[in-house]
Amino acid sequence: MVGSAGGPEKKRRLLEEFGYDAAIDYREGDLEGQLAEAAPDGIDVYFDNVGGDHLRAAIGAMRTHGRIALCGAISMYNATEPVPGPDNLHLAVGKRLTLRGFIVGDHYDLFGEYAQRAATWLAEGSLRAEQTVVEGIDHAVDGFLDMMRGANTGKMLVRLGS
């Protein structure tokens, strides 16, 4: 399993604390090269929250019949002009890739089952919920800006009251 993080400390945590086999630091650039080194045999499944250059690198590294779940596109969220898509999408044909949108709302029927399983996993420590918390509504904007800069780990939360 290969993870992507912004910065050496987050990359270290992926490897040492979360058990990833390999990790890339997208801030170092050359995503294609880093991914080729981390997964020299290619990848079968990619869960995309970023789009843009991350999706481009993943498409290039996908193995034949690979699957990509498209769940977000944070690389475009603050764009002031249209952002072009990956320029290597044609590879999806030759590699016979499946690209499918993923929205959690499509799976509400599984919520009860997930809640039971997740509670067990949290209790036994096999599922970790990382969060960065800022205190008070007065710091909500700072927390939001930190999140957009990647200064948080996990969910960014604002604690209201004590």
Domain boundaries, the chain: 2-128, 130-162
CATH architecture classification, 2-128: 3-Layer(aba) Sandwich (3.40)
- CA 105, distance to chain mean position in Å, is 18
The mean pLDDT values, 10 residues at a time, for the chain of 162 residues are 92 92 94 95 95 93 97 84 87 97 94 96 88 92 88 89 71
Q: Is 91 helix (H, G, I), strand (E, B) or coil?
A: helix
Whether the predicted model's global pTM rises above the 0.85 cut:
no
